[in-house]
Amino acid sequence: MKKLCFLLALGFYLTSNAQINSYTFGMMEARNMGPGTMSGRISAIQGVNSEPRIIYVGTAGGGIWKSTNAGASFKPIFDKYCQSIGAIAIDQKNPKIIYAGTGESNMRNSVSVGDGLYKSTDAGDNWTKIGLDSSEHIARIAIDPINSNTIYVAVPGPLWSDSKNRGLYKSTDAGKTWEKILYVDEKAGCAEVVIDPSNPNTIYASTWECRRLPYAFNSGGQGSGMYKSIDGGKTWKELTNGLPAKPFGRIAFNLAPSSPQNLLAIVESKSTGLYISSDGGETWKSQSAILNVIARPFYFSVIAMDPKDPKRVYRPAYEFSYSDDGGYSFATASSEGGWIHSDMHALWINPSNTNQMYVGTDGGVYMSLDKGATWMFLQGLPVGQFYHVRADNQKPYYRVYGGLQDNGSWVAPSSYPGGVTNAEWKSIYGGDGFWTVPDLTDPDIAYAEAQGGNAGRVQLSTFKTTDIQPKQSEGEEKLRWNWNTPIVLGASNPHNLYMAAQYLYKSTDQGRNWSRISPDLTTNDKNKQKQEESGGLSADNTSAENHCTIFTVAESPVDENTIWVGTDDGNIQYTTDAGKTWANVSANLASTGIAAQSWVSSIEPSRFDKSTVYVTVENHMYGDMNTYAAVSHDMGKTWTRFTSSDFTGFAHKIKEDIVNKNLLFLGTEMGLFASVDAGATWFRMKNNIPWYALVRDIQIEPGSNDLLLATHGRGILIVDNIKPMRQLTPEVARQDVVILPQPDMPVRNGILGGASFPPQGGWVGGNAPDLAPIQYYLKDRVVSGDVKVDILDKDGKLIKSLPGGKRKGLNKVYWDMRGNGPKTATGSTKPDQSGFVAPLALPGTYSIKLNISGKEYTQSFNLIHDDSNKDLTVQAQKDLYDNAMKLFAAHEQLAHIVDTIMATQKVLKEVAEKSKDAKTKKLAADYDKKLEDLRFTLIPTKTTSIFADERRLREEISETYVGLCYKESAPSNLELQNVQRLQQKLSETEKKKNDLISEINTKLKTKLAKEGFNLAYNEFKNESYGAGSNAQVGLLLRRTLQLK
Amino acid sequence: MKLKLLFLSAALSVAAISYSFAQTADEVVAKYIQAKGGADKIRTLTSTIMTGDINQGGMKIPVTMYAVQNKAFRVEFTFNGLTGYQIITDTSGWNFNPFAGQSKPERMTSDDIKSSQDQLELQDDLLDYAAKGSTVEMLGKDDVEGTECYKLKLTLKSAKEKTLFISTADNMLIKTSEKITANGQEMESSTFLSNYKPVGPGVMMAFSITNNLQGQVDITNIEVNKDIDAAKFKP
């Protein structure tokens, strides 16, 4: 008995090893929809001085992207790490060495956090974290140009809390160890560091006191200052001579690399201004400057001088300004050639061609070839920062809607012929974009907003908009709209439209009229409502700090009278009578150990149980970065927290699957997590999703079962069809091999046509697969055996054999519903495509036979007639097939005729050469010629270029055959005539060949037999030699050769 | 039954111990060479002829690869009665692709030849790598589509770099990746190896080779140490 228990325990241990994680779903991978047309905030740009076509771009929430072609295309190179980048530095003496500081330092309300400093020694292929783990924000990395083992890192440090982990750090061993060399206090960090290239012991640094609260922002304090060291940071002197009176805010400064005594500084103070020094910062002079130069110092921290010309100054800020006289006067870049996005945070000037430069904005990267006067947009960076995503119910493919940080509201089809390119994305509303919500009852209407609740109803056919924001009424307090105001459609009744300030509003007529259906649902704490005083030294209140507002609204999917509301100041309230009465259950959640003030980031009422509700809350604005998610099964009376050692990042969104109630998704500032056991255990989703993606919103589109992710830095990600996540339960995944249920497949080429021309650059978001894949699960990778997927018809006849994937977890194999092509005539100088083309199979029952290292698994499935195609009846489909198969047979018959001719010619040539009888020789040569004349009518024998058109019987058959194979309507009268004509022509050819051969036999066989020649040949057999099937062969072969 | 159990738990504990120690690059290489059949057997390979098919979605194109250690490599494929090929030798390289409209062999650029010459190593890049002037760096462990692997960076004498992924479970090479330059653009070329079978004296070779850029090749037969006509390596 004891033994048995042990056995069982061991068995359990072994089987429970088949733990569900992202690899379980192997080939189920996300595609990045972009857009590239509207990109996201760029925080760092660095190029390789010796090879300036190589550019690294750091982004606010999309990791690092590398271009090796000066920006024509980019690839992400930091997908396994924190996605918020503060600074990048390249060791120009060995440009394979790259440092990346995580945690952007453009300290706006929505800025993310980092987790330290990383290093690559192979140009970005591999990265190692090398310290400063608690820095949260890194503003600059400066490498000593002479001794590149010496590195300085400016760390502003945490934005939302006090911290000792701020200041200027130095390493003298290429990042192995770090020493803090400039530190003010727990409130002020280091925002900038610059090394004098002519004397690398001379260092300049600025410190910055800066703090945010959820409802206020302060840039400035006694901790901010300008410093200089002449001994590599051992001792520091504060620079004050000529600078304004403290307190300072942020100081942006730089020196002229070609004349490093010349410095420029933009000093935020009570009278923010531009200051110039020509003596290495010892003395400064105030200089008048245009508004753009001194605008929003906390947000625009770059000023730069041309590497060669000390008089040429650049100030990328709200706009792009430049000076030719050392900063005494500034001009602003032209919009000739295209608008350049406002709000700039990064600049890289090519030192070997200083006309060329790259600027990073809130909407992507631009390149200039004329010193910043005009700019070209680089369209291949899909790093947009979405807040929310929604889908409509269009067919055959739904459209995706979302709002972007600083970049308005956008709509795109989820699939499009040739893939979703930048051109398919349409901008439908301005400002910062947040909720962009299609009206599911009216395909021409969407609702969108700009910051602070400025919402409109958009007519999608014209993009005309009408203001729909609810207005303050008699006896009401001033309306407090969140930066990211909720606009929500009823999950139970899509005619219900909700918006919320501190009150909840409902409209049943598309926002034309509103009813207020709640009292103030927030804490209405007046201490958190002093936004007009926000900003610090420079006033800065753009509604980003609005507080005590409703942030989340969710109508129960099973009862339109039950509505849940969450506020930014900690309240969770619900009504079950459409707003007549409200219950506040936030204290119950707080009692699980979550701070009461925490921002309620999402509420998800269950669609399977009216009393069940999921929430995420987050408290990062008080310095608490933990992941908080919970469920209640009793309308919020009691809560169970979800926990996992995998969790990272504060929580934005929890989503319950629409079919399997045990399947949950959780999006945080650092990753997407999933649970297949109702939240008991969680795993990080890595399925082509950046591991630490900023996942702000999650949707599941019911028609396609696609998972939509609004990321704040990688645009919209779509995981096409997540059904496998419902099917591969822990029990199922314990088996070694599982074929997933195969849906009925309509017989067709696909859903979409192809694009006529490839996209001319820019990002391509791909498409959903046009065909349902055959999907199977492997518990382990197949290393030592082979995997084959055979498709059999109902009689067990093999139709097609496909190579199978071998990876652990879910594998996908695509069958194009065709068998193998015919054997076509060879011996030509020109290939023929028919060998790779077969007609679409007919509707009926088929089966999948999966062969894994000799072990077989089978499952049957149906091909069905495509009822959506009104141009193709069941009969017409059969006619297509039958006629195509007649020409299939014709091809094989022709192949045999040609083979026979050529085999005979081979002998005749030999005879003509070797026979001892002159008459025989002559006869053989004559017949060889006659056969060649016949062959000449059957296949191209002259062409040496693929661009030449040599049309013979084989080509005639192919033309009609291939047409029929791809046609999705009844064969035409002329096609049917052609089939008959070609068959006729073929029988005539067969006869000609037979006549000739029998003549040869009659005249020559006996003679030849005497001389030992053999004229025997095979009779034609009507069976395929079994070539493959795919018209792509030419392409494949070309690739095979050229890329080798 | 008891014996089986003992064996199982022993296997489990051995696994546990071996995972708890960091592996050096040389240890991983040694285990890999052993798993492949051992250095002595691998060193006996002087030539290979591999026959099989390029298989893309069931479309098969017959392909044959000839290799003479450190001397020459030829891949040829046949379709519709036409044959294309590529030849790489220690001094030259040729392409002939009638399917791309070529009517005669075309000389490869010297850069292309140089970057392809690692194909002349038919024994194993990792065998006696130091003597060959290569270096190997341990990059730790990584997942290859969910399978745990040792990750090694191999730098050949030519300065070409390859990243090798060796399964921690059975010490077999399951993936290699390298940067290739095609038409001036850097691209990541990843090759997955599977369906290992013993060949010749007992050297494990992958009969299924899948490349992200070039598709899948299924090998049906490998002959070793056969004389190969030198004409095969001339255009």
Closest residue in B to A18 (Cα) is: B146
Distance CA A912, CA A918 (A): 9
Query: Measured between CA atoms, how close is A785 to chain B, in angstroms?
Result: 4
| Model pLDDT, residue B59 | 78
Q: How many cross-chain Cβ pairs, A to B, lie less than 8 Å apart? A: 165
Closest residue in A to B86 (Cα) is: A1041
B4, part of any domain: no
Where do we find the tokens 């959780």? A666
SS3 string, B115-159, reads HHHHHHCCCCCCCCCCCCCCEEEEEEEEEECCEEEEEEEEECCCC
Distance CA A718, CA A75 (A): 18
- Report ipTM (2 d.p.): 0.85
Cα–chain center distance at A612: 33
Q: Which of A684, A779, A801, A1040 has the highest number of chain B CBs within 10 A, making it the mutation to test binding with B? A: A1040
pLDDT tens-digit profile of A1031-1042? 233 333 333 333
Q: Which pair of structure tokens corresponds to residue A210?
A: 């800066």
SS3 string, A337-366, reads CCCCCCCEEEEEECCCCCCCEEEEECCEEE
Q: Which pair of structure tokens corresponds to residue A591?
A: 């009692």
| Model pLDDT, residue B213 | 81
Name the 3-class secondary structure at A621: helix
Contact criterion met (CB < 8 Å) for A1034 and B100 = yes
Distance CA A456, CA A430 (A): 10
| Model pLDDT, residue B187 | 84
Q: Which residues in chain B have Cβ-Cβ distances shorter than 8 Å to A1031?
A: none
B177, part of any domain: yes
pLDDT tens-digit profile of A308-334? 999 999 999 999 999 999 999 999 988
pLDDT in tens, chain B (235 residues): 333 333 333 333 333 333 444 679 999 999 999 999 999 999 999 999 999 998 877 778 899 999 999 999 999 988 777 889 999 999 999 999 877 777 789 999 888 888 888 889 999 999 999 999 999 999 999 999 999 999 999 999 988 999 999 999 999 999 999 988 777 777 888 999 999 999 999 999 999 999 888 788 999 999 999 999 999 999 9
Which residue from A835, A820, A832, A838 is spatially nearest to A955, judged by alpha carbons?
Answer: A832
Distance CA A838, CA A957 (A): 13
Q: Which residues in chain B have Cβ-Cβ distances shorter than 8 Å to A125?
A: 163
B9, part of any domain: no
Closest residue in B to A23 (Cα) is: B146
With contact defined as beta carbons under 8 Å apart, do A399 and A391 qualify?
yes
Q: Which residues in chain B have Cβ-Cβ distances shorter than 8 Å to A6?
A: 5
Give Dmax over CA atoms of chain B in angstroms. Answer: 70
**Model confidence band, residue A946 (pLDDT cutoffs 50, 70, 90):** low
Q: Which residues in chain B have Cβ-Cβ distances shorter than 8 Å to A2?
A: none
Closest residue in A to B8 (Cα) is: A10
Where do we find the tokens 């105030």? A286
Q: Which residues in chain B have Cβ-Cβ distances shorter than 8 Å to A1044?
A: 75, 86, 95, 112, 116, 214
Contact criterion met (CB < 8 Å) for A122 and B116 = no
Reply yes or no on domain A388-470+478-734 having CATH 2.130.10.10.
yes
Contact criterion met (CB < 8 Å) for A1036 and B54 = yes
Mean local confidence (pLDDT), A838-855: 96
The residues with which A409 forms a beta bridge, in sequence order, are A403, A429
CA atoms within 13 Å, Cβ hemisphere of A992 = 19
pLDDT tens-digit profile of A517-533? 999 999 999 999 988 88
Distance CA A560, CA A577 (A): 9
Mean local confidence (pLDDT), A777-788: 92
**Model confidence band, residue A1017 (pLDDT cutoffs 50, 70, 90):** low
| Model pLDDT, residue A1016 | 59
Distance CA A800, CA B215 (A): 18
Distance CA A166, CA A157 (A): 5
Contact criterion met (CB < 8 Å) for B97 and A944 = no
Percentage of chain A modeled with pLDDT above 90: 85
Query: What own/partner pairs with CB < 8 Å and gap ≥ 24 does B204-212 have?
Result: B204/B35, B204/B36, B204/B37, B204/B172, B206/B173, B207/A786, B207/B52, B208/A786, B208/A803, B208/A806, B212/B188
Query: Measured between CA atoms, how close is B192 to chain A, in angstroms?
Result: 10
**Model confidence band, residue A760 (pLDDT cutoffs 50, 70, 90):** confident
| Model pLDDT, residue B13 | 38
Contact criterion met (CB < 8 Å) for B101 and A802 = no
Name the 3-class secondary structure at A312: coil
Query: Measured between CA atoms, how close is B86 to chain A, in angstroms?
Result: 7
B179, part of any domain: yes
Query: Measured between CA atoms, how close is A940 to chain B, in angstroms?
Result: 12
Query: Measured between CA atoms, how close is B132 to chain A, in angstroms?
Result: 22
Mean pLDDT, chain A, integer: 92
Measured in Å, how far apart are chain B's first and last C-alpha atoms? Answer: 63
Lowest mean pLDDT among A233-247, A704-718, A933-947, B134-148: A933-947
Closest residue in B to A73 (Cα) is: B185
Pairing of strands A445-450, A437-438: antiparallel
Contact criterion met (CB < 8 Å) for B194 and A784 = yes
**Model confidence band, residue A947 (pLDDT cutoffs 50, 70, 90):** low
Contact criterion met (CB < 8 Å) for A1038 and B100 = yes
CATH topology of domain A40-377: Methylamine Dehydrogenase; Chain H (2.130.10)
pLDDT tens-digit profile of A454-487? 999 999 999 999 999 999 999 999 999 999 999 9
B80 → closest Cβ in A801, A835, A1032: A835
Mean local confidence (pLDDT), A947-976: 92
Where do we find the tokens 């499935």? A861
Q: Which pair of structure tokens corresponds to residue A828?
A: 């030509």
pLDDT tens-digit profile of A881-892? 999 999 999 999
pLDDT tens-digit profile of A266-275? 999 998 999 9
Lowest mean pLDDT among A187-196, A882-891, A1007-1016, B26-35: A1007-1016
Contact criterion met (CB < 8 Å) for A10 and B8 = yes
Distance CA A850, CA A655 (A): 35
CA angle A475, A477, A478 (to 5 degrees): 125
**Model confidence band, residue A288 (pLDDT cutoffs 50, 70, 90):** confident
Distance CA A175, CA A506 (A): 57
Query: Measured between CA atoms, how close is A745 to chain B, in angstroms?
Result: 18
| Model pLDDT, residue B215 | 83
Contact criterion met (CB < 8 Å) for A809 and B207 = no
Query: Measured between CA atoms, how close is A827 to chain B, in angstroms?
Result: 6
Taking the alpha carbons of A353, A355, A360, A365 in that order, is the dihedral positive or negative? Answer: negative
**Residue partners of A868: CB distance under 8 A and separation at least 6:** A396, A746
B58 → closest Cβ in A800, A1041, A1042: A800
| Model pLDDT, residue B29 | 97
Lowest mean pLDDT among A349-363, A484-498, A1005-1019: A1005-1019
B216, part of any domain: yes
| Model pLDDT, residue A1011 | 80
B101 → closest Cβ in A806, A827, A946: A946
**Model confidence band, residue A878 (pLDDT cutoffs 50, 70, 90):** very high
Closest residue in A to B138 (Cα) is: A126
Contact criterion met (CB < 8 Å) for B77 and A803 = no
Query: Measured between CA atoms, how close is B44 to chain A, in angstroms?
Result: 23
Closest residue in A to B4 (Cα) is: A7
Q: Which of B1, B6, B59 has the highest number of chain A CBs within 10 A, making it the mutation to test binding with A? A: B59
Domains in chain A: boundaries = 40-377, 388-470+478-734, 874-1042
Distance CA B79, CA A243 (A): 78
- Could you tell me the residue range of the domain that residue B221 belongs to? 22-233
Count of structural domains, chain B = 1
Distance CA A275, CA A293 (A): 11
Closest residue in B to A72 (Cα) is: B185
Q: Which residues in chain B have Cβ-Cβ distances shorter than 8 Å to A786?
A: 194-195, 207-208, 218
| Model pLDDT, residue A7 | 35
A1038 → closest Cβ in B97, B163, B170: B97
| Model pLDDT, residue A836 | 87
**Residue partners of A542: CB distance under 8 A and separation at least 6:** A451
B147 → closest Cβ in A24, A808, A824: A808
Contact criterion met (CB < 8 Å) for B77 and A1037 = yes
Contact criterion met (CB < 8 Å) for A1028 and B60 = yes
Q: Which of B32, B80, B168 has the highest number of chain A CBs within 10 A, making it the mutation to test binding with A? A: B80
Closest residue in B to A778 (Cα) is: B146
The residues with which A672 forms a beta bridge, in sequence order, are A667
Contact criterion met (CB < 8 Å) for B81 and A1042 = no
CATH number at residue B213: 2.50.20.10
Query: Measured between CA atoms, how close is A933 to chain B, in angstroms?
Result: 20
Contact criterion met (CB < 8 Å) for A68 and B185 = yes
| Model pLDDT, residue A4 | 38
B205, part of any domain: yes
Q: Which residues in chain A have Cβ-Cβ distances shorter than 8 Å to B180?
A: 1043
Contact criterion met (CB < 8 Å) for B97 and A69 = no
Query: Measured between CA atoms, how close is B81 to chain A, in angstroms?
Result: 5
Which residue from A958, A767, A875 is spatially nearest to A33, judged by alpha carbons?
Answer: A767
Q: Which residues in chain B have Cβ-Cβ distances shorter than 8 Å to A10?
A: 5, 8-9
pLDDT of residue A1023 exceeding 90, the answer is no
Whether A40-377 shares its CATH topology with A388-470+478-734 is answered yes
Query: Measured between CA atoms, how close is B188 to chain A, in angstroms?
Result: 10
* Residue A716 identity: I
Contact criterion met (CB < 8 Å) for B100 and A1033 = no
